[in-house]
Amino acid sequence: MARKIKTKNLENTRLAAGYGGWTYCTACGENIGYLCYATYDRVEFQYECNCGSHGSILIDFEDSAMGSFCDDGLITIKNRQCCPKDSSPLLTILTKKLKDYQLAITCKECGSIYSRKYGE
């Protein structure tokens, strides 16, 4: 069943589908990652693409629960960044295409909020 989006703000970013799938910088058209559809509750992602464009994603849902910050880091399974508690795949970030980024993503299954910075 499709979830109802409460907030969806995309800046210089395009998603392949409503709230997930392949993620693109609209300035240069480069694929910068993949956002898994069914496993996250909220995502905040700000980035600077190698082309110099700054973009962002903010998405949450009407049924999103309030998460709790977690000191654990995401784990990598194949090429996906996953929740270390239940191995839910959350997203893929193609770091070679980005100068830097900031991420906060909430796992739908366990409610943990994972944050990460790259670059700068």
Rounded to an integer, the average pLDDT of 26-49 is 96
Average pLDDT over residues 16-37: 95
Asked whether residue 67 carries a pLDDT value surpassing 70, the answer given is: yes
Residue 114 in contact with residue 105, Cβ under 8 Å? yes
**If you average pLDDT over every residue of the chain, what do you get?**
94
Strand ordering across the sheet containing 89-93: 13-15, 21-25, 31-35, 89-93, 80-82, 75-77
Instruction: Name which of 70, 50, 57, 72 is nearest 12 in CA terms.
Output: 57
Band of pLDDT at residue 120, cut at 50, 70 and 90 = low
pTM of the predicted model, to two decimals?
0.93
